[in-house]
Amino acid sequence: MAQIETEQLQLREIYQLSFDIFSKYGCDNNNATALARTVETAERDGSLSHGLFRIPGYIASLKSGKVKGIAQPKVENNMASIVSVDADHGYAPFALKCGLPVLAQAANQTGIAIMKITNTFHFAALWPETEFLAEKGLVGVACTVYKPAVAPAGAGQAFFGTNPLSFAWPRPSKTPVVFDMATSTLAMGDVQIAARDGHELPHGTGLGPDGKPSDDPAEILKGVLLPFGGYKGSAISLMVELLSAGMTGDNFSYEAGEKDNNDGGPPKGGELVIAINPELVAGAGWADHSEGFFQKLEGLEGIRVPGERRHKNRLDLGARNINKELLGKLRDLLEAVYP
């Protein structure tokens, strides 16, 4: 395996580097702040495939003009339990920042509310949105599509996106339980990182260009990923397509793929976020009841609840080891003459 050289960066340096790059390539203060915060929190929590690693892609789409760095999302809440956010062709983090407080307020009034975000470009992890809701005492569910990268069970060609799904459950006075997962065997960013770093992947992560199962990330990048868990993961990915595109009116993965300019950034799509108030739905005893469940679960040998790894990483306020080659690319972006 190739030796990976790293350089240490403090979290505030990660934020500043990201903010400076986004600002240089046309983001206004609101968009640059939301994006830099997304990158910093991903690096803080160890979500490496959705932190600094994503910046070259974000910048490619700002440069091509596909994504607006000065997007001004419009939030509407005309029906009590439906929040609509038109992201104005900007990246998702600022649209989420504008819409999530309105969604939380709607769920606290009606018990359950959904937010559809349209005209956006999602290139990040989804746990920031579900965790935001859980920290406010709400259950959160979020999903979005991408462009074709995953072969539905039984097929040999890409049709679904990597279609992530996140769920968060609040635990008063504890960190929430949060899962956030691609419905493919791996997120595309992790396959790209494995190819960059020379790691093999578990056999059957995807198919090579010859349609045969492969453990070589470079071959899988030329071929397709598979859904996790065979036809069951495939069904969940199908649900994500319908909730994120059928329910928002924005692109299905195949439509996003047909329209995208393939500049290296994410395709245009929609995101659906659901917020549920457990106090209003299950009643006053909900927290103790679910704590009992978690205590039993956590008492099982070998168990860890999802989200725990990230929450542990978060307690470390020290420097992070950043891939030196990536850092070189980011510093080049900052120093390049633009426009």
Catalytic residues: 49-50, 190
- Residue among 124, 153, 127 nearest 140 (CA): 127
Among 67, 107, 182, 275, binds ligand NDP (CB under 6 A): 182
Distance of CA 159 to the CA centre of its chain: 19
The three-class DSSP label of residue 262 is coil
User: Which residue's CB is nearer to ligand NDP, number 30 or number 162?
Assistant: 162
Among 11, 102, 308, 327, binds ligand NDP (CB under 6 A): 308
The C-alpha atoms of residue 116 and residue 244 are separated, in whole angstroms, by 8
Which strands make up the sheet holding 206-207, listed edge to edge?
213-214, 206-207, 224-225
The C-alpha atoms of residue 241 and residue 257 are separated, in whole angstroms, by 13
Among 162, 175, 214, 323, binds ligand NDP (CB under 6 A): 162
The C-alpha atoms of residue 100 and residue 115 are separated, in whole angstroms, by 8
Do the Cβ atoms of 160 and 237 come closer than 8 Å?
yes
Distance of CA 23 to the CA centre of its chain: 22
Q: Is 75 in the site for ligand NDP (CB under 6 A)?
A: no
At its nearest, how many Å lie between ligand NDP and the CB of residue 311? 7
Q: Is 174 in the site for ligand NDP (CB under 6 A)?
A: no
Binding mask 126-155 for ligand NDP (x = CB under 6 A): xx----------------x-x---------
Q: Is 309 in the site for ligand NDP (CB under 6 A)?
A: yes
Stretch that binds ligand NDP, among 169-177, 243-251, 257-265, 299-307 (CB under 6 A): 299-307
Residues that bind ligand NDP (CB under 6 A): 47, 49-50, 122-127, 144, 146, 162, 164, 166, 179-182, 186-187, 190, 304, 306-310
